[in-house]
Amino acid sequence: MTQVVPGESEHLESVLRRFKRKVSGAGIFADMKKNRHFETPAQKRKRKEIARHKERRRLRNRRRGA
């Protein structure tokens, strides 16, 4: 769990900024978005397959350009 302890004379805005930085660094937002809706195993396979194809295409194009 991400926690931020405010300083004695620290403004609320700076405490919130530090909290947001810690939360994004911990990857909580990405995990929350990923688990927002239930994904069937078939949908998960399809999503991962598309990601693999995109990665292969990106690597292939990078090799051609260099």
The predicted-structure confidence for 18-56, as pLDDT tens digits, reads as follows 999 999 899 888 888 888 899 999 999 999 999 999 999
Q: Is residue 5 part of a domain?
A: no
CA distance 46 to 66: 31
Domain count, the chain: 1
The pTM of the full predicted model, rounded to 2 decimals, is 0.51
**pLDDT band, very low/low/confident/very high, at 1 (cuts 50, 70, 90):** confident
State yes or no: pLDDT of 66 exceeds 70: no
Q: Is residue 1 part of a domain?
A: no
Q: Is residue 2 part of a domain?
A: no
Cβ pair 4, 24 in contact under 8 A: no
Q: Is residue 48 part of a domain?
A: yes
3-state secondary structure of 33: helix
pLDDT at 63: 84
Provide the domain limits for residue 17: 12-65
